[in-house]
Amino acid sequence: MNILNFFFPQTIKFPDSKYNKNISVLAYLNSATLMVDGLIESGDIMTQVWSKGIRALLPRSFQPQKVLLLGLAGGCNARLVNRHYPKANITAVEIDPFMVELGKKYFKLGKTKNMEIIIEDALNYANHLKDIDSFDLIMVDCFVGQEIPKKLEDVDFIKKLKKHSRYLLINRLWWYKSKIDTTNFFRSIENHFFFTKTHTRSNVVISIV
């Protein structure tokens, strides 16, 4: 981080990648925020969202050995898992290699321990899971800008993930028109799963049981 960021916020803009557009990093003090098409994808706010999800939806005694992250962006979710579960082995799946580059440069992603990063589409990765593949926890945070790909809202996709994990947490937006989209998503899955949820001002994290 540049020493000037301790005194003056700096917004760094980047060319569009193959998968994302309007990409920028806001660097301030000793922190950074990754914005993609107007949505915060990494930074303190997302750390708070996932931190509340972990505290509210997982048992205090829970100590996962294997964690799967679908959607990595700058990697604040991976660092949070490191902090809460330092012995867990993390598999992180991210479709956009440019997000990984930004994560390593601005979000200390390269210092995350016990993590393997796989550049792949989340659905393709899930479709190639074998019966013996299992995780203690799967965290889903897959956005293209402010939208979640429809294929990742499909009931069969969620069933496949649940088949391979004891706990499944999914992050959704919960503001403006996103409330409608998320409410419709709840309705589409309520006949297939029991789920609980916890809210922040901007997001809702749900736990599929």
The radius of gyration computed from the CA coordinates of the chain, to the nearest angstrom, equals: 17
Q: Coil, strand, or helix at residue 152? A: helix
Domains in the chain: boundaries: 42-208
d(CA 168, CA 117) in angstroms, rounded, equals: 19
pLDDT tens string for the chain (209 positions)?
A: 555 455 567 999 999 999 999 999 998 877 899 999 999 999 999 999 999 999 999 999 999 999 999 999 999 999 999 999 999 999 999 999 999 999 999 999 999 999 999 999 999 999 999 999 999 999 999 999 889 999 999 999 999 999 999 999 999 999 888 999 999 999 999 999 999 999 999 999 999 98
Give the pair of three-digit tokens for residue 108: 């200390």
d(CA 12, CA 23) in angstroms, rounded, equals: 9
Q: Which amino acid is at 29?
A: L
Q: What is residue 8's predicted lDDT score, i.e. its pLDDT?
A: 66
> Which residue is associated with the tokens 């803009």?
13
* Long-range contacts, stretch 11-20, CB < 8 angstroms, 24+ apart: 14/98, 14/102, 17/96, 17/98, 17/99, 18/96, 18/98, 19/95, 19/96, 19/98, 19/144, 20/96, 20/98, 20/99, 20/144, 20/145
Burial letters for 101-131: b for 16+ Cβ neighbours within 10 Å, e otherwise? ebbbebbebeebebbebeeebbbebbeebee
Residue 9 contacts residue 88 (beta carbons within 8 Å): no
Q: Coil, strand, or helix at residue 85? A: coil
Residue 135 contacts residue 67 (beta carbons within 8 Å): yes
- Record the pTM: 0.93
Cβ neighbours, 10 Å, residue 190: 10
Q: What is residue 2's predicted lDDT score, i.e. its pLDDT?
A: 54
Among the four given CATH numbers 1.10.3860.10, 3.40.140.80, 2.60.40.10, 3.40.50.150, the one describing domain 42-208: 3.40.50.150
- For residue 122, what is the enclosing H or E element? helix 122-127
Give the pair of three-digit tokens for residue 181: 């989209």
